[in-house]
A and B are shown apart, each in its own frame.
Chain A
Amino acid sequence: MGIFDSFSSLMEDKIMPVANKVGQQRHLASIRDAFISLLPIMLVGGIAAIINSPLTTDETTNQLLLAWESFADNNGAILNWIFDFTLGALSLYVCIGITHFLSRFYKINSFIPILFSVMGFFLLVTQPVSGEGAVLDYSFIDGTGLLPTIIIAIGTTELYRIMKQRNFGKISMPSNVPASLSDVFASLIPGMIIVAVFVAVHSAFDAFDHTLATAIFDLLSPTLNAADSLGFVVTITFVTHLFWFFGIHDATLAGVMGPIRDGNLSINASAQIAGEQLPHIFTTSFWTYFTVIGGSGSVIGLAILLVFMTKSKQLKTVGKVGIVPALFGISEPLIFGVPLMLNPIFLLPFLLTSTMNAIISYILMASGVIGSTFANLSWQMPPFIGAFFSTLDWKAPILVILLIILNALMYYPFVKIYDRQLSERENKDTEKSKEEGESEGS
């Protein structure tokens, strides 16, 4: 058995079941589903941030750009306000989302758990401000407070679920009381216990002039910075593609990746709105527009090769079917059709194209040559368009096009080898069927 075979049986037997468990794990799955479902919020917030960042300088004379600038000037306050309660309040919506999806997993109505989760969110992530005027410091409700939010949402739902399942503190009502009302009464004592826990946690941190959110932030900021490093980005890109190569969809990792990517995006967007430098590089947009160009495997370059440079009928067909979805970030047709998955010929380019894209984009953004990302227009946006609007840097789409060319060059030698194999086989098949046809005829 070759190295490749033994390695792929190791993946099938040992890694797949683990990945499967991770992908199905109820807490990670509800985090993943929450982030996926927040697209409308992220989109509206991103658009507000884009409109509020007109591409003008003192020398700008273009009427259209100047009109954009004056629109942004006149509507800055409302744009900020929209942003503050969309992408700028990401944690609040994540809190609602996780509670909802986890409750659904347990098949309990999510309404009351959401009430308690949101209450816990405000008690533990925001803090009162003493003095006149401002009464609430809510600076952690964007991506900065994601981790405490996840803890609160999962903790509240679990606590509520356990008490409900054990009928703990359930006040039984006479049978003629409507079901919805007895539900409310049943949650009275569990609710009070949950609130008591929140208050205890709040007071414990308050004694040290902290909130749960600020404490976690101080404790974890070195780790969070490490999650934005080149080493981390390269590793996660490589691992994601290694998994995919063995047929494990990248959504399996989304429960872990979502909070990091979307959190960084929200923090960057807040900085953009405030006119500050963008602190992070690794965001959702960095991933969808600059790393996996055309979906996992960065297949746009490959699709172009298949359509224009191959002799094999199979590969040409796969290229034609797959090229349009690839422009919108969907690479499954190519991954299954070529196939790229479990195909040793394509192991190297499949793992290395996206990794190379990540390295080049990261270095260019870290050195300030290309602007960092602060908005996301959904992963289905064609990457060169997405790259422009997520950075508002005209150099970004040029970079993406250069990366597509680079990806095509990386795939080229492997496509040549594979194409020769397939077209030889196809020729043999047609000759064979011809011969058969002739012998039948004689």
Chain B
Amino acid sequence: MLNILIVCNAGMSSGILARKMQDSSNGKATVKAVGVSEYQEHLENVDMILVGPQIRFQLKDIQENAGVPATTIDMPKYGIMDAEGILKDALQFHEGDE
């Protein structure tokens, strides 16, 4: 079970994405979306962080502060809410990390 935390500006549009990703993961992952102002309170048990494209310039900051591997979400995939594609990218990133 992979616990993914999506961090974006307010957790609104990424909230839609998070639900879709969780549904398409067939129980292999839990996905939660939060705003960047509060993400540090949600780090418990999180395996990796996906940073929304609207705050991609904060990636470095989040990588330094979170202590959890973090990467950005592909912009076109975010745009069409391609949950499966993003999940696949995330799994790949996670495996590459280990």
- Separation in Å of the B68 CB from the closest CB of chain A? 18
Q: How large is the interface on B (under 10, 10 to 19, 20 to 34, 35 or more residues)?
A: 20 to 34
Taking A24-B61, A249-B55, A251-B9 as contacts, is the C-beta distance between A336 and B37 under 8 angstroms? no
Question: In the complex, which residues 1-26 of chain B have their Cβ closer than 8 Å to any Cβ of chain A?
Answer: 8-10, 12-13, 16
For the A-B complex with A330-B13, A336-B53, A337-B76 known, give 13 more contacts whose Cβ atoms are closer than 8 Å.
A249-B54, A251-B9, A325-B16, A332-B13, A334-B79, A335-B79, A336-B54, A336-B78, A337-B78, A337-B79, A339-B75, A339-B76, A339-B79
Q: List residues of chain A with CB under 8 Å of any chain B CB.
A: 16, 19-20, 23-24, 29, 32-33, 36, 101, 247-249, 251, 314, 317-318, 321-322, 325, 330, 332-339, 341, 380
Query: Which of A314, A335, A336 counts the most B-chain CB atoms under 10 A from its CB?
Result: A336
List the B residue with the shortest CB-CB distance to A319.
B80
Residues of A within 8 A of B61 (CB): 20, 24
Query: Which of B35, B37, B54, B55 counts the most A-chain CB atoms under 10 A from its CB?
Result: B54
Taking a contact as CB atoms closer than 8 A, the residue among B10, B57, B81 that contacts A16 in the complex is: B57
Residues of B within 8 A of A36 (CB): 10, 35, 37
CA distance A247 to B52 in the complex (A): 11
CA distance A322 to B13 in the complex (A): 10
Taking A249-B9, A321-B81 as contacts, is the C-beta distance between A336 and B58 under 8 angstroms? no
Q: Describe B's contact surface by its main secondary structure.
A: helix
Residues of A within 8 A of B78 (CB): 332-333, 336-337
List the A residue with the shortest CB-CB distance to B35.
A36
A333 touches B57 (CB 8 A): no
Query: Which of B10, B58, B79 counts the most A-chain CB atoms under 10 A from its CB?
Result: B79
Q: List residues of chain B with CB under 8 Å of any chain A CB.
A: 8-10, 12-13, 16, 35, 37, 52-58, 61, 75-76, 78-81
B54 touches A332 (CB 8 A): yes
Residues of B within 8 A of A318 (CB): 79-80
CA distance A249 to B13 in the complex (A): 13
A333 touches B9 (CB 8 A): no
List the A residue with the shortest CB-CB distance to B40.
A104
Residues of B within 8 A of A249 (CB): 9, 54-55
CA distance A19 to B58 in the complex (A): 11
A337 touches B80 (CB 8 A): yes
Q: Which 3 residue pairs are nearest across A and B when measured between Cβ atoms? A: A337-B79, A336-B79, A332-B13
Listed A/B pairs (14) with beta-carbon separation below 8 Å? A16-B57, A20-B61, A24-B58, A24-B61, A29-B37, A36-B35, A318-B80, A325-B16, A334-B79, A335-B79, A336-B54, A336-B76, A336-B78, A339-B76
